[in-house]
């Protein structure tokens, strides 16, 4: 059993709430404390060992980041949730699962592409790179590029995109980020749908979960319930 220690107190370098969804606000935070070095992987690791090694790496990289939900949940919950959606859809390709676990480390931590290549090989690093926005661009341009480039991405990257958006929209549904208006939430859903519609063939199970939300999903803001997408935008039938 491990030792329980209290969470570190907030400071300018140890911000308690990391914004989500990452597409909206980028605020990379370096990993501040040296983490214990993981043991070297054996030459032929099992899939299980590989995935746990990947999780350990991502957990260290995201260790001082928090989601912007009311409970400021640990950021690592997000990549774990994203990879879990993919695994539970029946996908067994370990490269996709590893890329899902790592999908935010280039955008949101001090991790470099070279570091990823060295740790996990080019196949995994390339998929993570495909899922990484150019952080020198503004938020609107990054959003536009996600739509414009989605069709040209590999099926592996498209799967990560689908699961990433599913986790983000579910997070917004369960708790709208502080300061967001109804219009901003619906604009997020509208944009998410544009991206995921392009990627849906890569993982029909996750795409179906998303379509269900676009068709019937609601969120609560200031005690009022709203549709995630107005009926005519949902592509769904008349069931709303
Ligand atoms: Zn993400």
- Reported as a single tens digit per residue, the pLDDT across 61-109 is 999 999 877 778 899 999 999 999 999 999 999 999 999 999 999 999 9
Entry pTM: 0.84
Choose which CATH entry (1.10.3720.10, 1.20.120.450, 1.10.3210.10, 3.40.390.30) describes domain 47-233.
1.10.3210.10
Residue 32 confidence class, pLDDT cut points 50, 70, 90 = low
- Report the pLDDT value the prediction gives residue 185, as an integer from 0 to 100: 95
Measure 50 CA to ligand 1 centroid, in angstroms: 21
Burial of 5 per CB tally in 10 Å (0-12, 13-18, 19+): exposed
> Are 85 and 167 contacting, i.e. CB atoms less than 8 angstroms apart?
yes
> Token pair for residue 213?
């939300």
Q: What's the confidence (pLDDT) of residue 71? A: 79
How many CA within 13 A on the CB side of residue 149?
16
Look at residue 177 in the predicted model and tell me its pLDDT.
87
d(CA 204, CA 20): 25
Residue 41 CA to ligand 1 centre (angstroms): 26
Beta-ladder partners of 14 = 11
Q: Using 50, 70 and 90 to split pLDDT, how confident is the model at 214? A: very high
Structure token pair of residue 120: 């996990």
Q: Where are the domains positioned within the chain?
A: 47-233
Q: Give the per-residue pLDDT at 121.
A: 96
Are 14 and 8 contacting, i.e. CB atoms less than 8 angstroms apart?
yes
Percent of the chain with pLDDT over 70: 81
Q: What is the average pLDDT across 212-221?
A: 96
Report the helix count and the strand count for the chain, using DSSP H and E: 10, 2
Q: Which of 24, 82, 30 is nearest to 55 (CA)?
A: 82
Whole-number Å distance, alpha carbon 239 to ligand 1 midpoint, is: 30
Confidence of residue 41 (pLDDT cuts 50, 70, 90): confident
Looking up tokens 């907030």, which residue turns up? 10
Provide mean pLDDT across the span 23-49.
Answer: 66
Q: Which residues are catalytic?
A: 107-108
> In this predicted structure, which of 50-54, 62-66, 190-194, 228-232 has the lowest mean pLDDT?
228-232
The 3-state DSSP class for residue 202 equals helix
Q: What is the pLDDT of residue 17?
A: 39
All residues at 6 or more sequence positions from 152 whose CB lies less than 8 Å from its CB, including other chains = none
Instruction: Please report where in the chains the tokens 């599913």 appear, as a residue.
Output: 166
Tell me the CA–centroid distance for residue 238 and ligand 1, in Å: 32
């Amino acid at each position: 059993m491990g030792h329980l220690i209290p969470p570190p107190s907030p400071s300018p370098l140890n911000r308690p709430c990391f914004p989500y969804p990452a597409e909206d606000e980028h605020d990379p935070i370096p990993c501040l404390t040296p983490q214990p070095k993981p043991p070297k992987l054996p030459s032929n690791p099992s899939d299980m060992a590989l995935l746990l090694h990947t999780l350990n790496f991502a957990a260290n990289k995201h260790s001082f980041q928090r989601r912007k939900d009311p409970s400021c949940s640990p950021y690592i919950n997000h990549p774990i949730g994203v990879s879990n959606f993919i695994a539970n859809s029946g996908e067994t390709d370990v490269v996709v699962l590893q890329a899902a676990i790592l999908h935010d480390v280039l955008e949101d931590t001090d991790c470099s592409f070279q570091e990823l290549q060295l740790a996990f090989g080019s196949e995994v690093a390339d998929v993570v790179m495909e899922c990484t926005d150019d952080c020198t661009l503004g938020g609107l341009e990054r959003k536009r590029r996600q739509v414009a480039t989605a069709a040209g991405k590999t099926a592996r990257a498209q799967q990560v995109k689908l699961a990433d958006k599913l986790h983000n929209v579910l997070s917004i549904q369960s708790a709208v980020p502080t300061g967001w208006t109804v219009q901003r939430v619906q604009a997020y859903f509208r944009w998410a749908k544009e991206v995921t519609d392009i990627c849906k063939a890569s993982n029909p199970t996750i795409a179906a979960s998303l379509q269900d939300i676009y068709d019937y999903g609601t969120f609560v803001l200031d005690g009022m319930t709203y549709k995630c997408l107005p009926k005519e935008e949902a592509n769904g039938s008349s069931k709303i």
